[in-house]
């Protein structure tokens, strides 16, 4: 395994156990997934509900184990039980509902929970907790009760809890789904900062196209298979294909697509409002 690889899936198949022994093709939730994710990268995984994207995410820190094929985290095979502890230290997971991840009644105690369980010495825990809370801009709330916080603040505390484990990779499974626009923006800014400033590998499962557009790479999963895997502007410029998969594209990309369809000379690969403004100024 190459040193710069964080995650590698090789012909991964997965299904939940059923009561019947008879194998049905449609039992499989993931079908022959092969994927490599480099260390320090930011990848978004898209797919409509039931596509298998969350099931794939749960393989990336060994919550689920492949039935056929393999998945490696930093070279460690998730099938080997003796690797599980090391894998969960390398790849942390943040879920959709922060309330399900917050375990303590004080913010800083919650962030200390995972390092304590890993047996980190107390003085090192103190450093990690303060550093993690600063990195998500929640340090001044360290003595608050999580119940007093907004949804976005709670999710940032949940992210701090993962950062305190000092993982190389953070997998976020629809972390902004339950948040208002302000909370979503706070969480996305946090994710980008961790990736760009600390070099943490980010894997973001999302159904917000504007969030996916911030990634370096977009992987689209449909019916348990990888359908598209490319730069965001290459994926989102395929507007008709995305719509056929039951997915949207960023609004500015759709606007460019509609204008192009109407006969205007405009690039279909527009991703941001700024790019759209520049293109429209050229047109008119």
Instruction: Check residue 91 and give left, alpha or beta (phi > 0: left; psi -120 to 50: alpha).
Output: beta
Give the count of beta carbons closer than 10 Å to the beta carbon of residue 230. 14
pLDDT at 226: 97
pLDDT at 2: 63
Among the listed ranges 136-140, 213-217, 250-254, 280-284, which one has the minimum average pLDDT value?
Answer: 280-284
Q: What is the pLDDT of residues 157-176, one digit of tens each?
A: 999 999 999 999 999 999 99
pLDDT at 118: 84
**Is 148 exposed, middle or buried (CB count within 10 Å of its CB: 0-12, 13-18, 19+)?**
exposed
Copy the structure tokens of residue 253: 């990309």
Report how far apart, in Å, the C-alpha atoms of 177 and of each of 10, 79, 92, 148 are: 29, 30, 19, 20
DSSP letter for each residue of 45-93:
EE--TTSSHHHHHHHTTTSS--SEEEEEETTEETT-GGGHHHHHHHEEE
* Structural contact between residues 215 and 43, judged by C-beta atoms closer than 8 angstroms: yes
Mean pLDDT of the chain: 92
- What does the alpha-carbon distance between residue 56 and residue 58 come to, in Å, rounded to a whole number? 5
* Structural contact between residues 73 and 7, judged by C-beta atoms closer than 8 angstroms: yes
Q: What is the pLDDT of residues 3-30, one digit of tens each?
A: 789 999 999 999 988 755 555 656 899 9
Q: What is the mean pLDDT of residues 29-50?
A: 96
DSSP letter for each residue of 116-166:
HHTT--HHHHHHHHHHHHHHTT-GGGTTS-GGGS-HHHHHHHHHHHHHTT-
pLDDT at 282: 87
Sketch the domain layout of the chain as residue ranges.
Answer: 5-232
Decide which of 284 and 228 is more confident.
228
pLDDT at 117: 87
pLDDT at 51: 92
Q: What is the pLDDT of residues 91-125, one digit of tens each?
A: 999 999 989 888 899 999 999 998 998 889 999 99
Q: What is the pLDDT of residues 69-87, one digit of tens each?
A: 999 999 999 999 999 989 9
Query: Is 224 strand, coil or helix?
Result: coil
Copy the structure tokens of residue 156: 């940032």
pLDDT at 22: 54
pLDDT at 283: 83
Question: Alpha helices, DSSP H only, in the chain?
Answer: 53-59, 84-90, 107-117, 122-135, 151-163, 181-198, 209-212, 232-236, 239-244, 251-261, 273-283
Confidence of residue 199 (pLDDT cuts 50, 70, 90): very high
pLDDT at 18: 72
Q: Regarding the domain with residue range 5-232, which homologous superfamily does it belong to in the CATH classification? A: P-loop containing nucleotide triphosphate hydrolases (3.40.50.300)
Inter-helix orientation angle 122-135/151-163, to 10°: 140
Q: What is the mean pLDDT of residues 215-230?
A: 97
- What does the alpha-carbon distance between residue 236 and residue 214 come to, in Å, rounded to a whole number? 12
pLDDT at 27: 82
Q: What is the mean pLDDT of residues 215-221?
A: 97
């Amino acid at each position: 395994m190459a040193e710069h690889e964080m995650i590698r899936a090789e012909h991964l198949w997965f299904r939940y156990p059923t009561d019947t022994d008879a194998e049905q093709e449609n039992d499989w939730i993931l079908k022959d997934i092969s994927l490599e994710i480099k260390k320090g990268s930011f990848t978004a995984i898209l797919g409509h509900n039931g596509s298998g994207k969350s099931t794939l995410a749960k393989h990336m820190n060994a919550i689920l184990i492949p039935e056929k094929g393999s998945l490696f985290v930093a070279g460690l095979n998730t099938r080997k039980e003796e690797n599980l502890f090391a894998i969960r230290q390398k790849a942390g997971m943040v879920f959709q509902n922060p309330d399900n991840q917050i375990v303590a009644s004080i913010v800083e105690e919650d962030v200390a929970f995972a390092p304590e369980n890993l047996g980190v010495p107390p003085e090192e825990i103190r450093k990690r907790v303060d550093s993690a809370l600063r990195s998500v801009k929640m340090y001044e709330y360290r003595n608050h009760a999580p119940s007093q916080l907004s949804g976005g603040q709670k999710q940032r505390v949940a992210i701090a809890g993962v950062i305190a484990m000092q993982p190389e990779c953070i997998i976020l499974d629809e972390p902004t789904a339950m948040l208002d626009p302000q909370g979503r923006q706070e969480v996305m800014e946090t994710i980008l900062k961790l990736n760009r400033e600390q070099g943490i590998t980010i894997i973001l499962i999302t159904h917000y196209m504007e969030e996916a557009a911030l990634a370096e790479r977009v992987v689209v999963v449909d019916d348990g298979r990888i359908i598209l895997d490319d730069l965001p502007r290459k994926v989102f410029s395929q507007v008709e294909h995305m719509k056929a998969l039951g997915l949207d594209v960023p609004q500015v990309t759709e606007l460019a697509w509609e204008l192009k369809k109407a006969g205007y000379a405009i690039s279909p690969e527009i991703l941001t409002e700024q790019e759209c403004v520049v293109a429209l100024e050229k047109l008119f």
